[in-house]
Structures are given as C-alpha cells and as structure tokens.
Structure 1
C-alpha cells in the first residue's frame, strides 16, 4: 500500500503518532486501526438515529448522520485512489467527522450553543461556554469515549484528529494549543492547511450532502423536479439522462441525474486537484500543510455547486415545514438543558459528578439520538413536542 502512495500523501509509517504511545498492530496500519476504533465506538453507532435534514421519526428512507458519513467515506475513497492519497485515513476522517453532532442536526447544535453562551462566565469552564460540533467530535475521540483502560477517548493518530477538526476559532485554537503545543490547532494560529486527505474529506462532505439532500428533498415532497430544472448543475444532467433515455420518469430520472452529477463532480475534483498539486510542486505532507488548500473544484464547478447550495437553502432548509420541525427540536434541546442544569439528579451519575456541570450537560445532550432526546423530554415534561 505504501508503495502506491504519492509523496504528498500521509504515510502511516511516518505518522506523527498518538497522544498516548502504543505498540503497532501486527496486521493493520495506524490509520486502519483508527478507522476500526471509530466504527466500533458508541458515538458512531448513535449516528444511525441522528438527523441529517429530516428527523429520525419522519421516514425510514431519509439520510441519517450514519448513512451520510458512509457516503462521504465512499466518495472520499474514490477520489483518494485516483490521487494516490491514503484511502484508510480518508475513510477514518469521513466516518468520524460528525461524531460530535447533536440530535436534530444543526437545529440541536444551534440551540445547545445558545444555551451555553447565555450562561455567565465561570472559572470552571476555561475553554469558555459555547458549542460547535467539530470541536465536540474531537472531544468525543479524545475524551468522551470510554473503551480502554489506559486512556480516555480513542487515542487516534494526529493525522486523523487533524482531519476531524475542520473548523476552529482562534480562541479555541489557542486553548487547544496550550494543552497540546504544536498539535492539531497550530494551523489555525499560524496559517496553512491540513493534509490532503483532510481537505478531501471536507469537499467530499459537501458533494455528498448536496446530492443526497436533493434526493431526500424530492422524496419528502418539499421540492420538486420542476423546481430543480432551474438549478443549472442538476438540470444539465437531467437533460443528459433524458437525451440518452427518453423514457425515464420519476425516481429513475432523479437517481440517474444525481448519479451523473456525482460522477462529474468527482472527476472535476480529481482533475482540478491534480493541476493544483502540480502547480504547487508539493512533495510531502509537511509541504502540503505549509501551502494554501489544494483540493478543490474547478472554478466552473465551484460556481455551479454554490448555486445548488443556495437553492437547497431557500427551498429545503428554509421550507416552512422544516423550519417548524426544527423549531420544535430547538425547544426540546433548550428544555433538556435547563432542566438538567436545574436538577442534576436527572442526569446519570457520571455526568452529575463532572467538575463543570454545564459542559457535562452539553456532552450528555450532544450524545443523544433524536428519539432518545424526544423520550427524555416527554419523561421530564409530560408532553409530546412532536405529534
């Protein structure tokens, strides 16, 4: 495998290592071991009942955080193979990138962030109040998973953790840097980029959710094929599909259009990224980290993708039915946070005994699935928020 990697790819034999040293596994590389630890984690299993756009109880065929993560991993591996990047690292980052998401998707995250930010300053919270799912994903793999006798978390490699931390404010980067000098937060303070594998996961995430949100949006009835004809990126492939298969209608036409769009975006990323890598002349992961981002769409595809994102934002994410549902989801999270903070006895013992109660409450809520959060709300408040 190592012989097939490009010089700018991350080589597991040259990993920056783990925070807690461990002997190598006899049959797996360090990145394969990370992937396996992620797949066997409790947080990964919970993703199957966490919202992508539509709540878990709204339909069995809508994407969840788990199916989304698998789709990101599939797209990422396909692109990585053509670019001779490390597929195992791409897969590990893709499968872990949403581990810190709350129930109810971004609605739950926003409600939890607002609840934490509303708290007065507290010396027990040196990192400051607030919630962001990228930081929480890192917190899950570094601290919250309880599987090993020698350390908290999953003790993943630097390169995997680097990919998980997609965004980070300067304030949080400074706090992470103080705890881990020269670690994964350094790039947010000094500039630069993560590995190509991490960059690839970021773009594969965007490609995946744009495509599957079209599918789920049409399946839900909230957007129509007729509306999508106004989106140049989608309509290009719809017309191609009909030109080759004039009889196509309904879901077959939708699936064929999305399939062609996905394929073209993958090839576009491969070609555009190859050109950027050649232009930059990078020959090692460290040179990649010192350069500007190299994994990208072509300019034309980037513009088309942005148009599609704007369409989905207006017509799906801000659809009145979705807004009404997310409003109820925010209420559930706000109510749970306030009740647990006021009555810590309602929390499991391990959370009640944590040194900073608001952060422990946030950890507990963030780990919930949609359906568990709904059941907990009904138990504590005696009424169903969702009919």
Structure 2
C-alpha cells in the first residue's frame, strides 16, 4: 500500500459520511495515472497554488483600488483568508480538507483587474456577459498551461463555478467555500473600510453587532461556530438569528461602504481604462500574445480580448493603457 492509498484509507475511516472521499471522485476530463503519494484533491490544490493565474492575484483589487497602505487586502490575501476559514469549517465537520482548500484557492482565479468594477465593465462589453466565477472555471479548464488547462477533478471545478451565486455545489466542501467566501469578504471588507476611515464601528447596525459581535474576530468566530453547529446533518446553513444578522450587515455594507464616494471615487475611471483596452485590442488583436491570437482565430476576437484583459493585474492594465493611449514625453537625442 503506497502513501496515497494509506491516506485514502484514513479518509474512509475518519471523515464524515457526508464528505467527498478522494477515492470516489468523478475524475478528470483527461484521465491520468494516480500519484503514488498525493490523493487527487491534494494534487489539484498543488496545481492551483503553482499556476500563473494564482500568482497574479497579488496585484488584483479586492475592494480599494491600488491602496497605498501595506495592510489592505488584495485578491490574493482574500483568497488565502477564504481558504483558512473554509478549512476550519471543513475540519470541524470532518469534511475533505484537501478538496475544500483546492476550491478555495481556485475560486477567484478568473477575477478581473480592478475588482468588481472591472468585472462590471467587462460584463457590459462582452457579448453574452461576463462573470468572474465562469471565468475562473475557464482558467483552470483551458487558459492555464497554454491551452491545456490544469485538468482538475470534477468536484473542484464544480465548487469553483458555484462559489458565488445560483446553484449550490454538489459537495459540502464546495458549499463550505461559498459560505467561507461570504464570511471572509464581509468581515475583512469592514476591517479595510475602518482602516481607510470610510467607516466607524459605531456605524455598524446594532442588531447585527448584538448577534455577531463587535470585532472582526468575534463576528467570524460567531458565524463559523453557528454554521458548524447547524450543519452536522449534511445540509449547510446558519441559524435563523445569525442568518438575519448576516444579511443585515451585508445590506449595510452594500448601501454604504461599497458605494462610498471616497472609497469608490476612482472606479469611474475603471470603465474608461477597460473600455479603451477592449476597443484597442479588438481593433488590433496582434497586440495580444500569440496564445490569445489563437483563441481569436478559434473562438472570436471578443472571447480572446476578454480572456486577455480579465487575466491582467491592475498594474499591467494601467501600464498598457498608458503606453497605448497616454501621450509620452518627446525625448530629444
């Protein structure tokens, strides 16, 4: 019995009957030999961690565009925080932590530069619309490794594409990531807003604070503890009180911080940057790397341009915009 088989035996003996066992995976789109040491979901986790799209998350906006402070979240730090919360929940419920972590690390790989402002801009421009969760699936299925994709298991891909809205994941591990994503972005966005001075603790809804707690740590602990306590029967959900408090706090953030003039004053420029890049690349696809030229030939220019722009970091998108559309100083030799 090799190491992988030993690990699979441990899963079978110790995990919940609701957990997704590695040995029961629906498999990959392209069958490949099993690894002698790592079960399939652990291999998926490693593939995501080492892919290019994951590294680019470090320079993609979470809430505040290109913040000057060192401690504001980026899309990468958000992803790591989602992973930590999801693993805590999965361990408490005796779910498959490797599967949970793989989904969490991959859930935002398709996110645009400039956060949700960039996503909204591409959604307006792209025929058929654009969502980051569908793009995340496209990244792992096709765009990574020059068109080969990461060849992840069905369960990881299902968890990635269902992490935001609509149909729930078919595994409890995927559902765990969806809850963890909501817990993370809500509480960490509050902390960033407090640091930025666009929100004060006194402004938070008293009814939500009374149930969830006054601090970030208290709120996260309350939500995780409540979710675990109410999800032991194979169905994940908060208690009614915590569910109501969560929605109250979320509605407050969407009506205040996420539309705050100071925090969002630069977002109106995002539309201009994305629109100009989109138009320029559609007019002259040869400006894109050869890989995206091939996509344009096979699937159309719009598809290729969306793939290229959505994969950019904030800094790269701004640099291209400046190089192509901002007049440069004339240097006399």
Residue in structure 2 matching 1:363, options 307, 310, 314: 307
Q: Confirm whether residue 114 of structure 1 aligns to residue 110 of structure 2.
A: no
CA drift of 1:335 comes to 1.0
Q: How many Å separate the matches in 1 of 2:210 and 2:239?
A: 19
Q: How many Å separate the matches in 1 of 2:270 and 2:44?
A: 33
The equivalent of 2:319 in structure 1 is: 375
CA drift of 1:59 comes to 2.9
Which structure 2 residue ranges, 5 or more long, are not aligned?
1-9, 329-333
Instruction: Tell me the secondary structure at the aligned position of residue 130 of structure 1.
Output: coil
The equivalent of 2:7 in structure 1 is: none
Structure 1 residues 268, 237: CA separation in 2 closer, same or farther (over 3 Å shift)?
closer
Residue in structure 1 matching 2:285, options 344, 352, 374: 344
Residue in structure 2 matching 1:217, options 193, 196, 219: 193
Residue in structure 2 matching 1:14, options 13, 20, 24: 24
Q: How many Å separate the matches in 2 of 1:109 and 1:318?
A: 16
Paired residues of 1:233 and 1:261 also in contact (CA < 8 A):
no
The equivalent of 1:166 in structure 2 is: 162
Q: How many Å separate the matches in 2 of 1:315 and 1:357?
A: 38
CA drift of 1:345 comes to 2.5
CA drift of 1:327 comes to 1.1
CA drift of 1:351 comes to 1.7
The equivalent of 1:314 in structure 2 is: 255
Instruction: Tell me the secondary structure at the aligned position of residue 148 of structure 2.
Output: coil
Structure 1 residues 213, 87: CA separation in 2 closer, same or farther (over 3 Å shift)?
same
Deviations 1:321-359 (A, max 9, x none): 233221111211111001110122322222223321110
CA drift of 1:233 comes to 2.6
The equivalent of 1:138 in structure 2 is: 137
The equivalent of 1:70 in structure 2 is: 80
Q: How many Å separate the matches in 2 of 1:237 and 1:295?
A: 18
TM-score, with structure 2 as normaliser: 0.90
Deviations 1:225-263 (A, max 9, x none): 2212x3433355666xxxxxxxxxxxxxxxxx1111111
Paired residues of 2:110 and 2:133 also in contact (CA < 8 A):
yes
Paired residues of 1:234 and 1:258 also in contact (CA < 8 A):
no
Deviations 1:284-337 (A, max 9, x none): xxxxxxxxxx21111110100001111111211000123322111121111100
Which stretch of the first structure deviates more once superposed, 53-62 or 212-221? 53-62
Paired residues of 2:64 and 2:264 also in contact (CA < 8 A):
no
The equivalent of 2:223 in structure 1 is: 265
Q: How many Å separate the matches in 2 of 1:374 and 1:59?
A: 19
TM-score, with structure 1 as normaliser: 0.78
Q: How many Å separate the matches in 1 of 2:96 and 2:155?
A: 11
- Which of structures 1 and 2 has the larger relative contact order (alpha carbons within 8 angstroms, sep 6+)? 1
Instruction: Tell me the secondary structure at the aligned position of residue 63 of structure 2.
Output: coil
Q: How many Å separate the matches in 2 of 1:238 and 1:83?
A: 23
Residue in structure 2 matching 1:323, options 236, 248, 264: 264
CA drift of 1:132 comes to 1.1
CA drift of 1:193 comes to 5.1
Paired residues of 1:97 and 1:134 also in contact (CA < 8 A):
yes
How well do the aligned residues superpose, as a CA RMSD in angstroms?
Answer: 2.0
Q: Confirm whether residue 297 of structure 1 aligns to residue 235 of structure 2.
A: no
The equivalent of 1:180 in structure 2 is: none
Q: How many Å separate the matches in 2 of 1:59 and 1:372?
A: 20
Which structure 1 residue ranges, 5 or more long, are not aligned?
118-128, 171-187, 240-256, 278-293
The equivalent of 2:207 in structure 1 is: 232
Structure 1 residues 383, 66: CA separation in 2 closer, same or farther (over 3 Å shift)?
farther
Q: How many Å separate the matches in 2 of 1:58 and 1:112?
A: 25
